[in-house]
Structure 1
Amino acid sequence: MHSSSVFNGVLKICLAVTFFVVFFNYTAADALSAGTEQLDINARAGILLDAETGQVYYAKDADKSRPPASLTKLMTAILAVENGKLDDVVTVTGRAASVSVGSTIGLNKGDRITLENLLKAALVTSANDSTVAIAEHIGGNHDSFVYQMNRKAVLLGAEDTRFANTNGYHDPQHYTTAYDLGLITRYALQNNFINELVSTRETVVRWVEPEKEREVRNTNRLLHEDEVDGIDGVKTGSTARAGNCLIASATRGDKRLIAVVLHAGNRYREAAKLLDYGFSEVHPVTIFPAGKEMAEIKVKGGVYETVPLTVANPVRVEIARDQQPNIKLDVLMHSEPAAPVREGQLLGHAVFTINGYRLIKVPLVAAREVPPASLFSRMIYWFSK
């Protein structure tokens, strides 16, 4: 338990550090790009993040609940590839065959088709009937599969997500956030088969019985045009309530970015704006120098009443210049230290965030040593060094 005096001391540290970081980054932004305007997108919610690290570069209402429409199908695909075999032959039930609203692949009761081809239909042409067939095959029944979808969302950290179906039909109990969709997408793209499908422009869906095939074209317009360099995914979604939604990804060099836009005025333009912004404006930046005093904390029984805190190494992150003034910092202390305190001793951690999302967590160390106050304790301390 922290005493009230310690709690108040830590609170003062947080306030002082936040002020310094904001000041530091305003100075950097002014020097590097005076007059830079903040990015804005014409969408109800959106986010831009790094596909490898998960670092958030931009967020707009990314924690607000929104209907995801067919972006739902990414989670359906995740469970399918993790719990089934691509060459499994699925027999289509009456429930799957009865799906007729929105995009469908034209499944009929009794059709036999492989799981691989059902996934092609779901991710490339966004077929709603195929996801029901997938669910019944993998989960035994639709509701059991939806339960698994919700459990998987929790495991992935998508805590503000709840699914009520496999394809994104509107339901009050079917919702997510732009941030959660970013998490789900990052995870999905680690699977080679899903990663390949979401970048596929055109393919052929083949039935086992009756023996037939159908050519399908990806619903993601960015894959068919040259609006964004390096575009390689991911998924479209549209309903009257959800509006036009898109998860888009692009790779340039060794960096891959994921953009999510929900209920966008023009989903392709807004996603392209986010991706281009990430590749052109995001750069490594030192947001706190090594050895610079960050704050100070009280010390029990020391020759000095306080000890200054610092970081042993420069704190560097990748961030756009116009976002630097939005950086905030919280200091997490284990407890009020007691003398002796050695220089470089770990005393806590500093957590840098932007728009509520973590940038980096770094150790905080003592910037100087603090010997004990009593003569006897100091003698023991010096002899033990």
Structure 2
Amino acid sequence: MAEFGESFTAHMVTSEWTVDGGWGPLELGPHAPVSVPPSMVGLHYGQVVFEGLKVYRQADGSVGIFRAQAHAARLADSARRLVIPPLPEPMFLKAVDLLTAANQDSLPRDAGSGLSLYLRPLLFASDSSLALRPARSYKFVLIAFVTEGFFADEPDPLPVWVSPVHTRAAPGGTGNVKFAGNYAPTYWAQEEARMAGCRQVVWLDAIERRWVEELGGMNIFFVRGSGSTPQVVTPPLGGTLLPGVTRDTLLNLSGRLGYEPREERVSVSQWQEECNEGTITETFACGTAAAVTPVGTVRYRDVEWNVGTGMTGPVTADLRQLLTNVQTGRVPSPEGWIRFVPAPTPRNAAS
């Protein structure tokens, strides 16, 4: 299996927006390079947003896109924040239908294979202009690749490093949207985490440098207690956190297992103290690419502590299994969560 995001399927879907015509027809064609001018607004000023969603083989052999409408809404929110014309939801859904139908045979017939089709929608400013203003033309591109998952090569819980210096997002900024410019600035801290022997960086808030916000490009959860009624706690959305679709899914699903979902701020010192006391028994990250990924060890400045036993806990394991079962149709999901793919549509079908 190729590394995450490096081996793409044979097709892609595109559309272009102009001032006079708005969004043009969707076109399904071969996966190919996109020609852009060197003076393109998106290259110079970063007017670029994207999404990530997955398609799963269902237990009955059909193919379903997981929570496509939620991803359509989040892409539209991201676009509006960057003054990009949002892609209408019906057009977004038609695009993911087209690409999934064209590439569904790349998914194994076995719903338990652990593989999914990752879809990457991208909206970018395509103007040839260096004027410091929003662009006057845009392009939509949708590509896909088959993946095992972001941490498929990591069988054990992650060791993570809390950054004492760098922050991911500030109030009033773009932390709550999937803006391309949010990601490259995190590489430095991620390299520092790697040099500290950790797989991911934990982000604290930009004001007090105290409150845990996210883990890498993922949302973070803490499990308080054990047994039949633990609490599943995640930081509240406040403009600096990405409103993760997987985060929302797990908050929704926790009640099925008898867990109490809570949105509550947790400080880094509180995290350490409650782990040492045995109050916080598990910690995990979640996201479309990562699914549910346990955290085993935390390093902050010159201190290190284990979360629980340092191994995958029962709440994390149960939520991960339930999420997988919902995504693959083994257990019922709320209405509209699974978008079943229609029969393949002829090439260059219009929205």
TM class by shorter-chain length?
Answer: under 0.3
Q: TM-score, normalised by structure 1?
A: 0.19
Q: Per residue, is there more helix in 1 or in 2?
A: 1
Q: TM-score, normalised by structure 2?
A: 0.20
Q: Which has the larger radius of gyration?
A: 1
